[in-house]
Amino acid sequence: MPDTSLYEEEHYPTPLQATWSEFRQRHVAVAGLGILIFFIIMAILGPLLTPFEPTTQHTDAVLIPPAWNDNGSILHILGTDALGRDMLTRLFYGTQITLFSSIITVLVALCFGVILGVIAGMSAGLRSSFINHVLDILMLTPTLLIAIIIMAMLGTGLTNAMLAIGLALIPRFVHVTRDFVRQEMSKDYILTAKLDGATSSALFIYNILPNMVERLIVQGTLAISIAILDISALGFLNLGAQSLMPELGVMIADALSTAYIAPWNILLPGLAIFLMVLSVNIVGDGLRSAHRNRMSH
């Protein structure tokens, strides 16, 4: 006997489902998401599929142009660099290092930024004033400049670069969290929870955080594009990843000496950085617009 329902229940989507529905209506944002997914798949599967190692030098195949050039070789589809290293392989590994290190950096910065933002938003008096003034000063300073200053104290290397950029990104998440917490603390449902005896930590975990997830996702997405640019810039300046590591910024720096005779060595990693940053920005802007439209309905 088929199941029958005595009541017609209307389905209400969750906030994330509603945001995703708004996001799908923006074709440019969906295209940006497709490009970003392509880079993620490329970063994961690329190093597993290539027959070469990123540091292997082929002395008999130096500065070979891409395969579509008359002097190109099918063995090196995107050509080789000045040391005979396969560019497609280095592009796979470079995308993996640059993209995943940026994501990890943003996730760590997000966690610390949310914690400090909650403290700033729920506190008052001298402690709140001190945090807010320091935050305002840091927000006016470019993240790359802050990262370079921190790198001068920590030393060079990709790990130190990630730590420096993460510290520079923390104020962004503190700012978003602080403003949101202050807005929510004055609302009726928070006052009701306080009257029921809820602690500050319980208020944040069960009442404020669920409503803030979407905003953190939007800000985290936009922060990834900043991290990609900063990690690449520090690698280019020889402050982040060093020359033996196939990072996209390092690849551009290594190719400067042969830019006129092998422009593809600069074009390919530069194009990868450009498309990654563009796709992340498009996705972040699409998420922000979708969130705004959902809140206005």
Inter-CA distances, 82 with 3, 55, 85, 262, Å: 71, 12, 8, 8
- The fraction of the chain above a pLDDT of 90, given in percent, is 32
Q: Residue 259: CB partners within 8 Å, gap ≥ 6?
A: 265, 266
Residue 212, H or E segment: helix 209-236
Tokens linked to 280: 């992340």
Question: What band does 266 get if pLDDT is binned at 50, 70 and 90?
Answer: very high
Helix (H, G, I), strand (E, B) or coil at 119: helix
Indicate whether 297 pLDDT > 80: no
User: Which segment of 68-72, 136-140, 206-210 scores lowest on mean pLDDT?
Assistant: 136-140
CA distance 256 to 160: 25
Which residue do the tokens 């390919």 mark?
Answer: 268
CA distance 6 to 264: 67
- The fraction of the chain above a pLDDT of 70, given in percent, is 91
Q: Residue 114: CB partners within 8 Å, gap ≥ 6?
A: 173, 177, 216
In this predicted structure, what is the pLDDT of residue 6? Answer: 54
In this predicted structure, what is the pLDDT of residue 172? Answer: 86
Q: Which of 169, 46, 48 is nearest to 104 (CA)?
A: 169
Tokens linked to 89: 């392989």
pTM listed for this prediction: 0.87
In this predicted structure, what is the pLDDT of residue 43? Answer: 93
Which residue has better confidence, 9 or 87? Answer: 87
Chain centroid to CA 275: how far?
13
pLDDT tens digits for range 97-154: 999 999 999 999 999 999 888 888 777 666 666 776 777 677 777 888 888 888 888 8
What is the signed CA dihedral for 222, 159, 233, 219, rounded to 10 degrees? 10
CA distance 176 to 281: 18
Indicate whether 1 pLDDT > 50: no
Tokens linked to 255: 């190719």
Mind giving me the DSSP string for 9-70?
PPP---HHHHHHHHHHT-HHHHHHHHHHHHHHHHHHHHHHH-SS-TT---TTSTTPPPTTST
Q: Which of 210, 280, 289, 259 is nearest to 36 (CA)?
A: 280
Tokens linked to 64: 């070979």
Question: What band does 26 get if pLDDT is binned at 50, 70 and 90?
Answer: confident
**Would you say 208 and 184 are in contact if contact means Cβ atoms under 8 Å apart?**
yes
Tokens linked to 128: 């709140």
Indicate whether 208 pLDDT > 90: no
Average of per-residue pLDDT across 36-48: 93
Q: Which of 213, 180, 215, 189 is nearest to 292 (CA)?
A: 215
pLDDT tens digits for range 221-245: 989 999 999 999 999 988 888 878 8
Inter-CA distances, 14 with 21, 182, 190, 257, 286, Å: 10, 24, 21, 54, 18
